[in-house]
């Protein structure tokens, strides 16, 4: 248990480092065109509502698997909440991809929130596949891998939400500062 906790901590720190590195590794001369000086794309509230609804559903699913295991049919509840969460978060990510390509002259914004969001996209596909596959495989390690990839998914979602809020606040603050004083 302790060994796997150290393992997940190391994986999380490495991924965080990679994303931070990727997010900051661009030419500062591009800063003028960078996402922080732009206006928020108009459909952004739809993106936020969808991903937040999905995040709540996924958190409920993880809670069920951790604390409600004594109940009969907990797996059904876990599966329903997790899969609804996956559908909502995926829909929210598609809205993000659409709004960015439609309003921001690029298919992908190079900032921390988007890199974290992309990592959520990967985990949210792999985790339910592992969840379903664990019943079809005799290898008990799949259970453990699913548990940890589920926990990492939830953690990445939290980080993505924090980065999203921070990004929106930065853009709003920039808008306020660039308002003409009458």
Nearer to ligand HEM by C-beta: 14 or 175?
175
Interface with ligand HEM in residues 142-161 (CB under 6 A): 143, 146-147, 150-151, 153, 157, 160-161
Q: Hey, what are 70's tokens?
A: 């004594």
Q: What are phi and psi of 58, to 5 degrees?
A: -65, -40
- Count, residues in the chain: 182
Q: How far is the CB of 90 from ligand HEM (least distance, A)?
A: 9
Residue 48 to residue 136: CA distance in whole angstroms: 35
- From 56, 91, 168, 170, residue interacting with ligand HEM (rule: CB under 6 A): 168
Q: Does 48 bind ligand HEM (CB under 6 A)?
A: yes
Q: Does 62 bind ligand HEM (CB under 6 A)?
A: yes
Alpha helix locations (H) across the chain?
2-24, 44-67, 74-103, 112-133, 141-177
Please report, in angstroms and rounded to a whole number, the separation of the first and last CA atoms in the chain: 62
Q: Does 97 bind ligand HEM (CB under 6 A)?
A: yes
Q: Does 19 bind ligand HEM (CB under 6 A)?
A: no
Q: Helix, strand or coil for residue 60?
A: helix
Sign of the alpha-carbon dihedral angle for 17, 104, 158, 89: negative
- From 19, 57, 82, 88, residue interacting with ligand HEM (rule: CB under 6 A): 82
Q: Give 27's contacts (C-beta < 8 A, 6+ positions apart).
A: none
Binding residues for ligand HEM, rule: CB under 6 A, are 35, 40-41, 44, 47-48, 51, 55, 58, 61-62, 65-66, 75, 78-79, 82-83, 86, 89, 93, 96-97, 100, 107-109, 111, 113-114, 117-118, 120, 124, 127-128, 131-132, 143, 146-147, 150-151, 153, 157, 160-161, 164-165, 167-168
């Amino acid at each position: 248990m302790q060994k796997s906790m150290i393992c997940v901590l190391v994986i999380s720190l490495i991924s965080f480092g990679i994303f931070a590195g990727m997010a900051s590794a661009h030419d500062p001369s591009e800063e003028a065109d960078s996402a922080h000086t732009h206006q928020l794309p108009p459909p952004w509230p739809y993106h936020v509502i969808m991903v937040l609804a999905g995040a709540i559903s996924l958190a409920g699913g993880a809670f069920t698997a951790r604390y409600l295991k004594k109940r009969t049919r907990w797996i059904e509840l876990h599966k329903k909440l997790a899969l609804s969460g996956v559908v909502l978060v995926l829909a929210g990510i598609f809205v993000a991809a659409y709004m960015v390509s439609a309003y921001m002259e690029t298919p992908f914004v190079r900032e921390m929130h988007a890199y974290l969001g992309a990592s959520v996209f990967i985990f949210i596909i792999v985790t339910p596949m592992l969840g379903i596959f664990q019943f079809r495989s005799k290898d008990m390690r799949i259970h453990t891998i699913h548990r940890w990839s589920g926990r990492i998914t939830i953690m990445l979602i939290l980080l993505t939400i924090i980065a999203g809020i921070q990004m929106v606040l930065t853009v709003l603050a920039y808008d306020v500062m660039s308002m003409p004083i009458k």
